Structure 1
């Protein structure tokens, strides 16, 4: 299991937020940490630590007055270390190549692919044509809700879009993972209900991902202790990588980065 580093940018600043608190109206979010450093600083730090395959996420909507500030921060991180990081947030077939040319190894896509609650194969194919399967990460971040399928016991997890604010009709399951793996190189999955809360991982999500586990998958959400990493490694059957944000000391948390790197090895 590898630690995949992250740089989340909101209103032009590197931040760690409670994921479920993000609201486009007014560009509001409950903040765990706001950095005085720019995104390029963290990009360079990750390179020096030997970490790769992480992601830069733009947390403002494209029509936000803060979007251009946020985008410039992201571009700075990508250009500082070309090929080191992936990028997501407002990615479409029209702008994906711009981010690749700026230094992104992959583009991370959710809302463009899941339109009106459904998978848009039209947009998926446009994205494939624009950058190629090997450059695409599909973000299958999800939240729990009671399933309408009488054959499914209890809550299931459904993919959420538009910065985790809109629930889709697409369930996180083997069939979905199998189908969408034909269109991407990796999956990124934030368990949005626990994202930024440091109260433990979403075990059911981890099990769904590990039971399939055929291409690289990065899990994010809820890690607050070294024991959470150990649990993720066990439940993930060694098939999942992890992203940790608010709990890390570099973002004001109590987990020492080098201890986390060692725990993931």
Structure 2
């Protein structure tokens, strides 16, 4: 098995570092469920991840008003973080110039419920395939996985399967996939999605959603068979959870030894 990489995250909402239940975003009739609001800046976390030599972490801007905090994190750890949320062909390069290793996109390329190849090719032209991460965050419908967009409120017609992943991989350097139905709930991973992604992906792919203990992490590693990396948010001690951040870092650095 390949070494399991822990990919940390800095989620930004209203300019602050937060952990929220992502599926509660974007609904006019529903308040956003916040698991944690940090008293620390985005730079504080970027410095921590740099010190622990964690690469490929992602800074996600959840709505507008988070650009300043995102730029602060990127400048603190240049080359060590990816950035997503509101990325398009016009603004992508400025984030690369600011220190992001990659930009992460979903809604810009999954436009009006469909994969927009024109927009995808514009992005590849703007920053290069080597700087692009495609986020295929998905939910199950009728026994199949479909990409959801617009703060995870809308189903696209893009089914996530072996063929579609093989196709989309040709446009990007990495994949990021949130299991939307379990993300932020600290209630266990979506094992069937982990199993599917391990079978289907051939480029670096990070799974997010529900991992909340070292036992979970071991189970994830066993199911993924070394094929996937993992991000953990709300469950981590640095974000108000019970799972010690240092334990996760050490577990992954030691190649999965509890």
Superposition TM-score tier, normalisation by shorter sequence:
over 0.9
- Give 3-state SS (helix, strand or coil) of 2:32's partner: coil
Q: Does the 8 Å CA contact 2:82/2:104 hold for their aligned counterparts?
A: yes
Runs of 4 or more, structure 1, over 3 Å off, are: 24-28
Q: Which residue of 2 aligns with 1:232?
A: 220
Q: 2:53 aligns with which of 47, 50, 53?
A: 50
Deviation of the 1:26 alpha carbon? 8.8
Where do 5+ consecutive residues of structure 2 fail to align?
A: none
Deviation of the 1:219 alpha carbon? 0.2
Q: Which residue of 1 aligns with 2:93?
A: 97
Q: Which residue of 2 aligns with 1:142?
A: 138
Within a 5 Å distance, the mapping from 1:241-252 to structure 2 comes to 241-252=229-240
- Give 3-state SS (helix, strand or coil) of 2:86's partner: coil
Measured in 2, the distance between the counterparts of 1:114 and 1:86 equals: 19
Within a 5 Å distance, the mapping from 1:33-48 to structure 2 comes to 33-48=36-51
Q: Does the 8 Å CA contact 2:133/2:175 hold for their aligned counterparts?
A: yes
Measured in 2, the distance between the counterparts of 1:228 and 1:111 equals: 30
Measured in 1, the distance between the counterparts of 2:153 and 2:204 equals: 25
| 1:174–1:93 distance in 2 versus 1, CA, 3 Å | same
Q: Which residue of 2 aligns with 1:84?
A: 80
| Cα deviations by residue, 1:44-102 (Å, 9 ceiling, x for unpaired) | 01001111110000001xxxxxx23x110001000111111000001000000011111
Measured in 2, the distance between the counterparts of 1:262 and 1:168 equals: 38
Q: Does the 8 Å CA contact 2:9/2:59 hold for their aligned counterparts?
A: yes
The TM-score normalised by the length of structure 2 is 0.94
Q: Does the 8 Å CA contact 1:230/1:263 hold for their aligned counterparts?
A: no
Where do 5+ consecutive residues of structure 1 fail to align?
A: 61-66, 147-154
- Give 3-state SS (helix, strand or coil) of 2:148's partner: strand
Q: Does the 8 Å CA contact 1:195/1:221 hold for their aligned counterparts?
A: yes
Q: 2:18 aligns with which of 15, 18, 24?
A: 15
Count of paired positions: 250
Measured in 1, the distance between the counterparts of 2:23 and 2:240 equals: 20
Deviation of the 1:262 alpha carbon? 2.6
Q: Which residue of 2 aligns with 1:116?
A: 112
Q: Does the 8 Å CA contact 1:93/1:127 hold for their aligned counterparts?
A: yes
Q: Does the 8 Å CA contact 1:88/1:109 hold for their aligned counterparts?
A: yes
Q: Does 1:207 align with 2:210?
A: no
- Give 3-state SS (helix, strand or coil) of 2:222's partner: helix
Q: Does 1:179 align with 2:167?
A: yes
| Cα deviations by residue, 1:189-247 (Å, 9 ceiling, x for unpaired) | 00010001111100111111100231000000001111111111011110100000000
Q: Does the 8 Å CA contact 1:11/1:27 hold for their aligned counterparts?
A: no
Q: Does the 8 Å CA contact 2:195/2:224 hold for their aligned counterparts?
A: yes
Q: Does the 8 Å CA contact 2:24/2:30 hold for their aligned counterparts?
A: no
Q: Does the 8 Å CA contact 1:172/1:208 hold for their aligned counterparts?
A: no
